């Protein structure tokens, strides 16, 4: 790593707050800080101070301030500096040097790049992993195809930025990470090796044939940046570095970026395995008032103090009871406060009653009857009949409520609610919001009022609601339940609650207190893709929008197939289940929650028409006019995707990459060359998929050797 990169990283350390000293609790004689960074156990500096070698750190006092370094007892080449370390969040921060390649602005030939070793990082054999939720993969400059591979050379993630117009990469422009000039994407879980690379595009190659004059050629060359970058960086660092979308496309220097690492105890797969297979001395959660928390990717666990406690759960007795009565801001009490182990009691003072947790919640009560009151009761004895009637009404109402409560409990048990509680019990943030009471949804929808209906069909009705936390949601109320699939449904709900992808509808939770479970999703304002395709008038969605929506759908499915802890198969992709938000961004919905009978008649008809060259008989005429040859390429890809044999179908990652290539060519109007454009003609390969028995259609798109390696990784189809 260059000295400039180290200097920049040290200057940026102020962005990452250090862990409070109170959580460190190092063994006697062990340093608790390195410079301004707190060292919480199980990490440690010096012999016998860390849980094991993986958590061993060093403090380099030759710099000012001192540098916190990950010890390298295994002989590897990386001695990584940490900028912060958090016990509560299970995170650490470090930095990377951005990968850089620079080109001759006239010829397009590459003239320089920084040291590959300086831009790579290996975390293999350590407690650390690159955080999927806190980092983004960025490609800066254009045209640029940046991709990431793991230690085995398998494809992990990629990002493509294009130069659509000269203005889009002008100095000082505020394009943002939209794909023009720069872009960003996510990475999967459990990435422990970072190896970045950039596929070079030689400027002007594919566009020369369409240039009308020298002025046009000059404009196209000017639209390409001199240097291209790629890096993995913390989301907050990106937001701070490129505030207001001000991206410098003309930079040519090396620079460092912040990266967030997730850490965990990696000597067991998860909490259950650790408790079952490890000796008591090796189990990390030492405090009696601690809980074990799975990492969510099946690659280790962490420890937290139980609710009502704080401290260091990795120490015997390290979690201490919180005195809530001394923390009025967090635990308000306007009455008599009594601290208890793990909780507290807040009651109104004598002579008052009500809710003592709010400022005016306690009101005075009368404790004695006056003589006048006694006389009034005697005189008004006839009112006793009225009281009895009211009492009977109250009793009837109470019995009715009790029956309703018992029915809700019955449905909750019937719908395997306790199984879901177990599945989410180790994720406190998920458990708190995952299981939603029926009363909350009734309030959110005004008792499922007809005016709140968003739509319906043969399988159920969708209502719009507003939860108590002001989230606007869509609540799906199905008509029938298949009991034999309820276990699979619960497991899938628990998984989907942790999915966070911009092209997948977010599942907030579910209600199991009705005969058929209710699903609660984020509300998407612009309806379904079906609504936008089937409109009155001569035209509907243009080809450019359709191709982007298709690409985003493929990206979401590729993520569900290969980037989560285990594959999630949708099984019901159709235009009704693809929602669009206000900016027409794709949101895939209803995966795993519904089962449709199979009907391949349309597929067979479509395949037959394509095979005989009569595809125009079934396509929207608007597509033939706008899409040109790209329509046929997408059609061939679609036919390949519905082959019965798995080995004849492309993976969803291949589908995503193919659509990205088609779309990039479309957006650049054939200005940006293809991935394989004249880099190495001997390495050109093409791929084909059989369309029907005895017939195959070969893709006209060519891929370089590097690109083919990216597409060859095996993922669920």
Catalytic residues: 572
Task: With H, G, I as helix, E, B as strand and everything else as coil, classify residue 553.
Answer: helix
Order of all β-strands in the sheet with 121-122: 121-122, 193-199, 144-149, 155-161
Tell me which H or E stretch contains 116: helix 116-119
Place of tokens 């509907």: 540
Q: Which of 44, 36, 39 is nearest to 16 (CA)?
A: 36
Query: Would you tell me how many other CB atoms lie within 10 Å of the CB of residue 50?
Result: 21
Tokens coding 412: 């909750």
Rg (CA), the chain: 31
**C-beta atoms surrounding 103 within 10 Å:** 22
Are 287 and 313 in contact, with CB atoms under 8 Å apart? yes
Q: Which of 493, 498, 496, 501 is nearest to 157 (CA)?
A: 501
655's tokens: 């589908």
Alpha-carbon gap, residue 442 to 467, rounded angstroms? 10
| DSSP codes joined into one string, 150-190 | -TTS-EEEEEEEB--SGGGG-TT----SSSBSEEEE---TT
- Distance in angstroms (rounded) separating the CA atoms of residues 557 and 561: 6
- Residue with tokens 């395997």, as numbered in its chain: 416
Angstrom distance (rounded) from CA 263 to CA 406: 44
CA distance 190 to 188: 7
> φ, ψ for residue 261 (rounded to 5)?
-110, 135
**Chain-centre distance of CA 242, in angstroms?**
21
């Amino acid at each position: 790593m260059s000295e400039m990169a180290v200097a920049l990283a040290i200057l940026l350390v102020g962005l990452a707050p250090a862990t409070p000293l109170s959580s460190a609790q190092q063994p006697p004689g062990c340093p608790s800080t390195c410079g301004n960074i707190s060292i919480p156990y199980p990490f440690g500096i010096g012999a016998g101070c860390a849980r094991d070698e993986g958590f061993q750190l060093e403090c380099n006092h030759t710099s000012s301030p001192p540098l916190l370094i990950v010890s390298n007892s295994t002989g590897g080449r990386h001695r990584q500096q940490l900028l912060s370390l958090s016990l509560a969040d299970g995170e650490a921060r470090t930095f990377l040097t951005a990968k850089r390649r620079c080109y001759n602005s006239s010829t397009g030939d590459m003239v320089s790049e920084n040291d590959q070793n300086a831009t790579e990082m290996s975390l293999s054999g350590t407690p650390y992993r690159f955080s999927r939720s806190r980092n983004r993969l960025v490609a800066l400059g254009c045209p640029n195809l940046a991709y990431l591979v793991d230690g085995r050379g398998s494809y992990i993630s990629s990002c493509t930025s294009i130069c659509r117009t000269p203005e889009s990469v002008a100095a000082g422009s505020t394009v943002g990470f939209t794909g023009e000039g720069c872009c960003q994407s996510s990475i999967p879980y459990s990435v422990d090796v970072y190896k970045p690379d950039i596929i070079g595009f030689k400027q002007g190659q594919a566009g020369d044939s369409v240039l009308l004059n020298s002025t046009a050629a000059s404009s196209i060359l000017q639209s390409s940046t001199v240097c291209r970058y790629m890096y993995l960086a913390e989301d907050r660092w990106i937001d701070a570095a490129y505030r207001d979308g001000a991206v410098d496309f003309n930079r040519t220097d090396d620079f460092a970026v912040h990266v967030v690492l997730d850490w965990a105890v990696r000597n067991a797969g998860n909490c259950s395995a650790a408790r079952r297979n490890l000796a008591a001395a090796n189990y990390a959660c030492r405090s009696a008032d601690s809980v074990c928390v799975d990492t969510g990717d099946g690659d280790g666990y962490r420890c937290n103090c139980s609710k009502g406690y704080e401290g260091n759960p990795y120490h015997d007795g390290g979690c201490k009871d919180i005195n809530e009565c001394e923390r009025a801001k967090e635990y308000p009490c306007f009455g008599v406060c009594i601290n208890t182990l793990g909780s507290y009691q807040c009651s109104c003072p004598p002579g008052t009653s009500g809710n003592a947790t709010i400022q005016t919640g306690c009101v005075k009560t009368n404790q004695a009857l006056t003589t006048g009151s006694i006389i009034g009761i005697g005189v008004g004895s006839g009112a006793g009949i009225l009281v009895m009637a009211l009492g009977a009404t109250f009793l009837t109402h109470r019995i009715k409520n009790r029956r309703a409560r018992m029915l809700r409990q019955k449905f909750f048990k019937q719908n395997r609610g306790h199984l879901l509680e177990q599945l989410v019990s180790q994720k406190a943030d998920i458990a708190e919001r995952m299981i939603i009471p029926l009363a909350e949804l009734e309030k959110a929808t005004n008792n499922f009022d007809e005016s709140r209906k968003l739509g319906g069909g043969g399988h159920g009705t969708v209502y719009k609601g507003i939860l108590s936390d002001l989230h606007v949601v869509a609540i799906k109320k199905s008509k029938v339940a298949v009991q034999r699939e309820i276990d699979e449904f619960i497991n899938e709900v628990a998984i989907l609650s942790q999915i966070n992808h911009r092209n997948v509808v977010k599942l907030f939770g579910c209600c199991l207190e009705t005969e058929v479970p209710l699903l609660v999703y984020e509300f998407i304002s612009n309806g379904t893709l079906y609504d936008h395709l089937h409109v009155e008038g001569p035209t509907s969605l243009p080809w450019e929008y359709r191709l982007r929506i298709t690409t985003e759908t493929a990206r979401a499915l590729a993520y569900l197939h290969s980037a989560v802890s285990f594959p999630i198969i949708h099984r019901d992709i159709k235009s009704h289940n693809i929602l669009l938000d206000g900016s027409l961004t794709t949101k895939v919905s209803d995966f795993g929650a519904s089962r449709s009978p199979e009907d391949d008649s349309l597929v067979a008809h479509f395949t037959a028409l394509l095979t005989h060259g009569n595809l125009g008989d079934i396509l929207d005429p608007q597509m033939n006019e706008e899409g040109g040859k790209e329509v046929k390429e997408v059609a061939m890809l679609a036919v390949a995707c519905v082959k019965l044999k798995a080995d004849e179908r492309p993976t969803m990652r291949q589908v995503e990459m193919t659509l990205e290539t088609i779309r990039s060519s479309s957006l650049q109007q054939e200005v940006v060359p293809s991935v394989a454009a004249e880099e190495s003609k001997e390495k050109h390969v093409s791929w084909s998929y059989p369309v029907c028995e005895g017939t195959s259609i070969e893709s006209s798109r060519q891929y370089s050797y590097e690109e083919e390696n990216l597409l060859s990784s095996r993922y669920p189809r």
